[in-house]
Structure 1
Amino acid sequence: MLNLKQSLITAAGAAVLAIGSLAQASEYLVSTDWLEENLDRQDLRVIEVSVNPGVFERGHIPGAVNFRWHTDLVDTVSRDIIAGDDFQGLLQDAGISDDTEIVLYGDTNNWFAAWGAWIFDIYGVENVRLLDGGRSKWEAEGRPLSVRPSNYTAGNIEIGEPNLELRAFLPEVVEVARSENPEVDLVDIRSAAEYEGRVIAPEGVNELAVRAGHIPSAVNVSWGEAVAEDGTFKSADELREIYAAAGVDGSNPIITYCRIGERSSHTWFALSKILGFDVKNYDGSWTEYGNSVGVPVTNLAGTVWGGQ
């Protein structure tokens, strides 16, 4: 039997664990330490959302299921997000129920995992968190990977109608672009070269626009300014200072955009989930806007049309 001192130590330790669990449940990020310690929980589902083919199959966080961004989280016929019925079926097949805690992670700086978090938010799924630092941090720390597929008993989660207040569409963005005194802050999270119009897209990508530049009134805060060297998000105070320096302080609604909506999902997460601002993600982004007829473009490099 435990003596009194050992009993007190054990009780104190249990209380600390309970408090830590409660604190973790109130956050939208989990650390790699926390995730590895909680992988055996039956009410936890880890989901990888990566964009590079074969990454998941070569090794993934043990117990994780694979949501393929190109086919699982988007409509494969229309340029659109996944339909509600399809999303509900995807979640149920992954063994997700209403009380399941969900952790998302992925490759490429967690961009597509953040897209996943945005989709989960649109459909009102709760208890969703992002692995801070994503796949890169997990691998850099030498944490376990598995090649075994994960199969779970079907879950019973049911989702409602999508909350389109989290999503910006072209007409709304054009209205802001044409406004003399816009009451919405546009945040272009692409590189300075893309924003200024020196390039249409990063080298090596296929999704292009015929025009270069940015949406009028948009400020440029590259997604990378929100993270530390290890890919984890900077503190709320640091983030608030970074965006305030660009004139974005949360006093106006915000629309984020990039090229196809994945990098802007990352900034959407920082602004909405960490800072609590009112934010929409414009997933049409520059490949829609820069290819649209009759919309204004600001170009600082003098290369408006096709880089000419």
Structure 2
Amino acid sequence: MLRLGAAAGAISIAGCLGSLRESEPELYTTPAAAEFEAVVDAAWLKDSLEGVELLDVRDEDEFTNGHVAGASRLPDTDLMRDHYEETEDGYKAAPEVIAAIAADAGITTEDDVVVYGSGSNLWETYAIYTLRAIGHDGMVALLDGGFPVWAAAGGDIEAGTSEPEPDTGEYEPELETDVLATREYVADQVHEDGANVPLVDNRSPEEYWGIEKDGPVDRHGHITGAINVEFTQNLVEDDDGSRLRTPAELERLWLEEADLDPDEETISYCSTAVRGSVGWFVMEQLGWETVRNYEGSWHDWGTLTEGDGYYYTSGEGTGDVIDVFD
């Protein structure tokens, strides 16, 4: 198994392996994989398949019909519902849930992992965020474009279900608090007139303004001081699914138009931290030293009150909506 030390070098040349293969269609290689440390493409994966563990976040029928050979499935229900719980103090991560799934798949904390789905989207980045949050030591990378690009590249595919092998190993989680934000952590940064650190709301502008109701909560709008960068701004859609935009486009979105500073700690959020994980992931790839994803997000904050210091803003036209790519 390829470990982190060797993987770091391998990942750094992932894009070079792809970009030098001019005979291969562009679909198999991506600009994001050429520059970003935790993004790989189908060309790189074909060369590195024996050295990584694979996690498929698609639904069960898609997985059964065909998946990358050797992959295990990571159900989104386990990611969303079971890995954290709601307490009186907000949402608390329960890392042992995902650790048990990883152990059943034969994954240890040192293994290098590639996550893929139907493209580059929500559950893929949320799986990466979740593994990082429970202290995964090995590489955790995104297959840009997901299963469609692997199939188009003629990669090895197998059908059927993957049954976890009993007692395949142990996975000892250790919560990494520098990648997640709790309710109280966010509240400490927010005041009536704004926030002490940049906050990025990854929902739609309508949800951000509170025009479209977001979940069964009493309040609708955004955390005071947050800007809006809808998660779809990071992705480009084509007939083969979604992929990350080019690094140049993402730099324009985050560094120029949103005017954010990678040296400044930033908090990402959405409704439930799933869409927020897209912003979290992209900011990490762009070089942020510290970026956190707010567990619970608006489905937590929207249940609270301003009287207790949980400030929010609502109304069309409020805040700052960054809309670069239609």
Q: Provide TM-score, normalisation by structure 2.
A: 0.73
2:174 to 142, 161, 182: 161
C-alpha distance in 2 between matches for 1:195 and 1:86: 31
Gaps of 5+ in 2: 1-8, 16-35, 319-326
Whether the aligned pair in 1 keeps the contact of 2:83 and 2:97 (CA below 8 Å) is no
1:58 CA drift (Å) = 3.2
CA 1:237–1:108: 2 relative to 1, 3 Å? closer
1:101 is aligned to 2:116 = no
1:248 aligns with 260
Gaps of 5+ in 1: 1-18, 202-206, 304-308
CA deviation map 1:39-66 (0-9, x unaligned): 3x1x32110123x453323332222101
Deviation larger for 174-183 or 102-111: 174-183
2:125 to 110, 114, 133: 114
Whether the aligned pair in 2 keeps the contact of 1:261 and 1:285 (CA below 8 Å) is yes
1:306 aligns with none
1:44 aligns with 52
C-alpha distance in 1 between matches for 2:38 and 2:198: 24
1:9 aligns with none
2:188 aligns with 175
Higher strand share: 2
C-alpha distance in 2 between matches for 1:175 and 1:288: 15
1:238 is aligned to 2:253 = no
C-alpha distance in 2 between matches for 1:77 and 1:221: 25
1:70 CA drift (Å) = 1.3
C-alpha distance in 1 between matches for 2:92 and 2:150: 28
C-alpha distance in 2 between matches for 1:49 and 1:81: 22
What letter is aligned with 2:315?
A: L
1:297 is aligned to 2:312 = yes
RMSD (Å), alpha carbons = 3.1
Deviation larger for 80-89 or 64-73: 80-89
2:235 aligns with 227
1:211 is aligned to 2:219 = yes
1:291 CA drift (Å) = 2.0
C-alpha distance in 1 between matches for 2:217 and 2:52: 41
1:293 CA drift (Å) = 2.8
Provide the secondary structure at the position in 1 that maps to 2:236: coil
2:145 to 133, 136, 144: 133
C-alpha distance in 2 between matches for 1:286 and 1:220: 13
What letter is aligned with 1:29?
A: V
The 5-angstrom pairing of residues 83-98 of structure 1 reads: 83-97=94-108
C-alpha distance in 2 between matches for 1:112 and 1:267: 13
Aligned residues: 277
